[in-house]
Structure 1
């Protein structure tokens, strides 16, 4: 089973220690940083599924780190002591997928994180059912025998449904940031994935990338 990678960034060591303990206990692989610059270094060195970023951090703020990570479609949850509605709006406008005010119960944060990662167990898209734990895709109840790469590509498209994902973003998600191969390898894998899930689910945006347009059923 693939472990889910979470990046936790907060300039309060005690807070970082508590969050690390909670996420590790739940089976996540955790990377920790105490400022925005360190968070970005870890982000580019590892395949991060979710970043939990404190807004007010030295060197680079959580907002700056969020904006950079969202270029690649990564899920981001912002933490902040700021309580004004304008601050929450600013965080969401920066691309954050969710926003949690301090102080908070770590158990609530954990549940919000799992929801963002669709870790409730399964996702349904049209005739498909994705088993997020077993990493399998079923069509009309039959296992389509998706490869690991195909599952990761489908997962990325599902988590960013309705948004165009560039070939670079899809490569980073499925192959890692250190992949140096040809971008067009994505086209081959998408073609094979389409043959299995159905041609109509994945839309091509010429010269840009791909998107999943189907709604949940």
Structure 2
């Protein structure tokens, strides 16, 4: 999933980004509100974490504009402690509100709650451990590679939907990846060999979809 973190404090930005990257999120950063809006207009952002006080365009105004266009979930960060400020953020459409200073791990938990990300997801005899980057089948560690895990995670986040090779490359390999799209096919094949043939469907000419049978 794609997260935008916007804060004009470079130290705060660096710390928060490090924590979220460790959790496997694709991160975009901005140091002012104008840059934050530009990123949201040009990329699919699932969650925007916005500092209230930013140059050019305030975080609260960015929130207002994002919610008007229904672009993303929004979590506001602020050093403000007044209840009226919290009320204003929620009235404008913010989905959550965290006061500074905060513990980064708490922020991650709040973000995951907004994105409906569970710690462990089980289906079809598999258990996907999101924090640990592991996939288990009938209790046994499948020892998937990093790319295989993130492929499964991406497919799981969009289960039932067909994802093209280009989308999978952007989400798993990164937007700056230069190489053959067919590398996706190779990794999908290896992942299927581990998790089972029936879960990941191929749609010829379109892409791949994770389809979980009703249990």
Instruction: Give the number of the structure with larger relative contact order, counting CA–CA contacts within 8 Å between residues 6 or more apart.
Output: 1
Alignment check: 8 A CA contact 1:36 1:64 kept: no
Residue 27 of structure 1 pairs with residue 19 of structure 2: yes
Partners of 2:47 and 2:74 within 8 A in 1: no
Task: Give the Å deviation of 1:162.
Answer: 1.8
Is the partner of 1:164 in helix, strand or coil?
Answer: coil
- How far residue 63 of structure 1 moved from its aligned partner, in angstroms, is 5.8
Supply the RMSD in Å over aligned alpha carbons: 4.2
| TM-score normalised to structure 2 length | 0.63
Render the CA deviation track for 1:59-103: whole Å, top value 9, x for unaligned. Answer: xx5369975xxxxxxxx423584748xxx6xxxxxxxxxx616xx
**SS in structure 2 at match of 1:211:** strand
For residue 185 of structure 2, what is the aligned residue in structure 1? Answer: 187
Contact 2:5-2:17 within 8 A present in 1 as well: no
Q: Which has the higher Rg, Structure 1 or Structure 2?
A: 2
The corresponding residue for 2:5 is 8
| Contact 2:37-2:62 within 8 A present in 1 as well | no
Offset of 1:161 from its aligned partner? 1.5
CA distance in 1, matches of 2:146, 2:75: 32
- Alignment pair present for 1:155 and 2:153: yes
Structure 2 match to 1:96: none
- Distance of 1:50 and 1:63 partners within structure 2: 11
The residue aligned with 1:121 is: 119
Between the aligned partners of 2:62 and 2:46, the Cα distance in structure 1 is 21
- Distance (whole Å) between structure 2 residues aligned to residue 55 and residue 168 of structure 1: 34
Number of residue pairs the alignment of both structures matches:
181
- Structure 1 segments unaligned to the other structure (5+ residues): 68-75, 89-98
How far apart are the structure 2 equivalents of 1:196 and 1:131? 15
Counterpart-to-counterpart distance in 1, 2:18 and 2:187: 32
TM-score (norm: length of structure 1): 0.63
Deviation at 1:152, TM superposition (A): 0.7
